[in-house]
A and B are shown apart, each in its own frame.
Chain A
């Protein structure tokens, strides 16, 4: 790439990355990627990228002819402070990757497709939660999937005292052949930092015969709100918390699709 184009190109890249991040904040899809705890850092990131981008002094073609000596000197002085940061077209392509890939697909949170690579064995995922942050008291219908698992795991009677409580949880539908036709999992990802560390957490839902017909219209990945009663069941050899559903409603993807420990 031509020397005099470098500063301008660097500005364009930095500002473009900043604007790209800003659009993810502005349209509310930032939480598809990271834990909300880190949202402030992303804001700092946007401001920083714009600031760095604007710090470059661009040279027009005319300028570089006018003070050719300065041009050389500027280059030299730059080396004196650091090393040469020549930007190649390959470099520009790589740096534009986040934007290109980001715009090539509609933003979507992790869903059932990502489960294929993750461990869905329910029993071992719950411990992903730091002890101090979990011990909050909530009304039964405010509890999310993480809270129910926590209560189940910390229960001295293996969940006996929870039986009969009203449950209202939301998540996306995931079917697993191990659990048969009359069950599905209402599932959420638990994200501590960014989606790279996502853990799966699912609560089994028992579908009553009256709703079997409705469920045939609900595909995997569809977000649902499940209302029902807490029961314990032995499924696939595991003693597990199960929701005996009374109502299953399709809902839109929530603003914060993940649970945060």
Chain B
């Protein structure tokens, strides 16, 4: 930002200094460190047990296992980076160019319209599960209603044009396509409604929700500033967002890659036929694989011959909402307790849908 604009704000300095300490409470150290240790522990266990469990123990077997782990980790990371980056840039632009009063004017505040429009918002912001997190966080800072943000966060990875097209490419006009779209919308809207009654300060991290209660935010962000300066500010904010979220993405990718290296897929695939067990198995698979929602339909197709239809729909509904990497990224927006709910609620609802489908509609 330019110097002139900066000078204009100096007068406000004293009042804001008081709030500064309260505004930097993310403290990733507190939980990132134990998580890191946990990851390393799994890694070590993987190296040890990987050799015992499997039959083909060559001389460099552990090294090869590690190599596989690194390849899968980098695969998930490299695949996700551009999408997280685009999400961060959208977030940065929102931060600088969208004023809270604009949102106040246009957004529905009542529970049902807010939750439903949140679930459909993905049609406007075609972001996948990596990009949606920074955008949601930014919108919350701008005063987005609780229910709308949650519905958007959960639905957008499916309710967007790109994912719909890829699902159509894999399954055609089938029950799976409509089931995926319909159930994603419904589950996201329902969970959004549940969150309507929640208070932002009990749900969001302090850093996310305090911003829009901060008196400072009612000043529009220096509209007199040159366009280029604001654009640069948007990019810097995007960079901050990216680095912030990338930490969670990396931790999530590390965990997902570890799980993939340690847990044999055959264990999960062996239980493909039961009406209930197949759904649980596909949920576990969706959670562990952490595949991007734009292509998970092709992956699901690979299982469609073996697994029940209900479990396939559950895989395609639950997976984009919650998986290892997105659950970790939620930690950058929500309090830990809430992240737990955001995993469990979709889990239970999609389990219900999958089992109901298997028992009553067809296998």
CB-defined contacts of B85 to chain A, threshold 8 Å: 44-45, 48-49, 52
What residues of A have a CB within 8 angstroms of the CB of B210 in the complex?
83
- Let me know if A182 is at the binding interface, CB within 8 A: no
What CA separation (Å) do A91 and B78 show in the bound complex? 19
Cα distance, A83 to B19, chains bound together (Å): 12
Of the candidates B66, B243, B261, the one whose C-beta lies within 8 Å of that of A10 is B243
Contact (Cβ within 8 A) B9 A73: yes
With the chains together, A72 CA to B15 CA distance in Å?
A: 12
In the assembled complex, the CB of A84 is this many whole angstroms from the nearest CB of chain B, namely 4
The answer on a CB contact under 8 Å between A195 and B169 is no
Contact among A21, A72, A105, A197 with B66 in the assembled complex (CB-CB below 8 Å): A105
Which chain B residues numbered 244 to 283 have a C-beta less than 8 Å away from chain A? 244, 246-247, 250-251, 254, 256-257, 260-266, 269
Query: Could you tell me which residues of chain A, from 14 to 56, have a CB within 8 Å of some CB in chain B?
Result: 14, 17, 21, 24, 30, 32-35, 38, 41-42, 44-45, 48-49, 51-53, 55-56
Contact A117 B261 (CB under 8 A): yes
Q: Say whether B36 faces chain A, with CB atoms less than 8 Å apart.
A: yes
B182 within 8 A of A: no
Q: Which residues of A215-229 are within 8 A (CB) of B?
A: 220
Say yes or no: B295 contacts A90, CB within 8 Å.
no
Shortest CB distance A207–B (Å): 19
> Provided the pairs A21-B81, A34-B79, A108-B67 are in contact, do residues A52 and B214 lie with their beta carbons within 8 angstroms?
no
- The CA-CA distance from A82 to B1 in the complex, in Å, is 14
Binds B, one of A119-127, A161-169, A231-239, A242-250: A119-127
Q: CB distance B211 to A79 under 8 Å?
A: yes
Q: How many residues of B contact A (CB 8 A)?
A: 103
The residue on B at minimum CB distance from A85 is B240
Segment 73-108 of A: residues with Cβ below 8 Å from B: 73-77, 79-88, 90-91, 94-95, 97-98, 101-102, 104-105, 107-108
Provide the bound-state CA to CA distance between A78 and B98, in Å: 15
Interface stretch (choices B22-30, B102-110, B146-154, B351-359) = B22-30
Contacts of B247 in A (CB 8 A): 91, 94-95
Contact A69 B10 (CB under 8 A): yes
Q: In the assembly, what is the distance between CA of A49 and CA of B82, in Å? A: 9
CA distance A66 to B261 in the complex (A): 53
- The contact of B78 among A24, A104, A112, by CB within 8 Å, is A24
Which of the residues B12, B70, B264 comes within 8 Å of A102, measured between beta carbons? B70
Q: Do A34 and B9 touch across chains, with their CB atoms under 8 A apart? A: no
- Measured between alpha carbons, how far is A45 from B289 in the docked complex, in Å? 22
Q: Is A253 on the interface with B (CB-CB < 8 A)?
A: no
In the assembled complex, B224 has its CB within 8 A of some CB on chain A:
no
Residues from chain A with a CB closer than 8 A to the CB of B29 are 88, 90
Whether A116 contacts B54 in the complex (CB less than 8 A), given A33-B75, A196-B291, comes out as yes
B6 contacts A74, CB within 8 Å?
yes
> Hey, which bits of chain B sit against chain A, CB under 8 A?
1, 3, 6, 9-10, 12-13, 16-17, 20, 23-24, 26, 28-29, 32-33, 36, 50, 54-56, 58, 61, 64-68, 70-79, 81-83, 85-86, 88-89, 95-96, 138, 141, 169-170, 172, 207-208, 210-211, 214, 216-217, 219, 221, 232-233, 235-244, 246-247, 250-251, 254, 256-257, 260-266, 269, 289-292, 294-296, 298-299, 301-302, 304-306
26 contacts between A and B (CB under 8 A): A14-B242, A24-B78, A32-B71, A35-B295, A42-B78, A45-B85, A55-B238, A70-B6, A79-B20, A79-B23, A80-B217, A81-B237, A82-B141, A82-B237, A85-B241, A85-B243, A94-B247, A95-B243, A112-B56, A112-B64, A125-B302, A127-B304, A128-B298, A130-B301, A192-B295, A197-B295
